[in-house]
């Protein structure tokens, strides 16, 4: 158990809908990362937050957004969902968000878009 928690574990929704995925980092960690893992693209970095502020952006679609709250939990919002958004979404955290800080991953949320 990494100490990173994610809810929900599974989510099934329809195309065009909007969902919110939640992540609580390890106790004391200030930085949160979001990743998407799909069958055809592998594990892809989406976005990073550090202490409430966006720090780095990867392959995140404009339909997706995220935020980190004062209590350091983070939410990933996915809107106008398409079939291709079906994937595992992982959150990771580390203390300071530095390049050589190990990222610890949560158990993931499996999103199925029908």
* Site residues, another protein (CB under 8 A): 2, 4, 31, 33, 39-45, 48, 55-56, 58-59, 90, 92, 97-100, 102-108
79 or 86: CB nearest another protein = 86
**65: which strand partners?**
77
State in angstroms the smallest separation of the CB of 98 from another protein: 7
State in angstroms the smallest separation of the CB of 34 from another protein: 12
67 or 79: CB nearest another protein = 67
């Amino acid at each position: 158990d990494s100490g990173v928690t994610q809810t929900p574990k599974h989510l099934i929704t329809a195309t065009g809908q909007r969902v919110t995925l939640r992540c609580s980092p390890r106790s004391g960690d200030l930085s949160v990362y979001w990743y998407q893992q799909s069958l055809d693209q592998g594990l892809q970095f989406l976005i990073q937050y550090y202490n409430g502020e966006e720090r780095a952006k990867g392959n995140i679609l404009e339909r997706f957004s995220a935020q980190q709250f004062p209590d350091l939990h983070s939410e990933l919002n996915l809107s106008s969902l398409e079939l291709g958004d079906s994937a595992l979404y992982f959150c990771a955290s580390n203390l300071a968000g530095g390049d050589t800080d190990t990222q610890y991953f949560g158990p993931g949320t499996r999103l199925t878009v029908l």
